[in-house]
Amino acid sequence: MTYCVGLLVEDGLAMIADTRTNAGVDNISSYRKLHIVEVAGERVLAVATAGNLSVTQTAMAMVREGLRLPGSDEPETLASAPTLFRAAQLIGHAIKLVRQEIAPSLEADSLMADATVILGGQIEGAPMGLYLIYAQGNFIECQPDTPYLQIGEFKYGKPILDRALRPSTPLPEAVKLGLISFDSTLRSNISVGLPLDLIVVKNGALAGERRRIEADDPYFRDLGVRWSQALTAAHRDMPSPAWLAKP
How many CB atoms neighbour CB 6 within 10 A?
28
Concatenating the DSSP letter of every residue in 46-78 gives: EEEEEE-HHHHHHHHHHHHH-BPPTT-SS-B-T
The CA angle 136-45-161, to the nearest 5 degrees, is 75
Please give the CATH superfamily to which domain 3-236 belongs: Aminohydrolase, N-terminal nucleophile (Ntn) domain (3.60.20.10)
- Dmax over CA atoms of the chain, in Å, equals 80
In order of 69, 171, 215, the CA distances from 185 in angstroms are 37, 21, 14
Query: What average pLDDT does the segment 176-205 reach?
Result: 96
Q: Is the pLDDT of residue 24 over 70?
A: no
Q: Using DSSP, state whether 147 is helix, strand or coil.
A: coil
pLDDT for the residue 247 = 64
Distance CA 162, CA 81 (A): 32
Question: How confident is residue 1, by pLDDT bands cut at 50, 70 and 90?
Answer: confident
pLDDT for the residue 186 = 96
Low-confidence winner among 54-58, 90-94, 156-160 (lowest mean pLDDT): 54-58
pLDDT for the residue 216 = 97
pLDDT for the residue 102 = 86
Question: How confident is residue 21, by pLDDT bands cut at 50, 70 and 90?
Answer: confident
Sheet holding 43-51, edge to edge: 34-39, 43-51, 115-123, 129-133, 139-141
Distance CA 33, CA 45 (A): 14
The residue among 201, 181, 171, 188 whose CA lies nearest residue 44 is 201
Query: Percent of the chain scored above 90 by pLDDT?
Result: 87
Question: How confident is residue 111, by pLDDT bands cut at 50, 70 and 90?
Answer: confident
Question: How confident is residue 38, by pLDDT bands cut at 50, 70 and 90?
Answer: very high
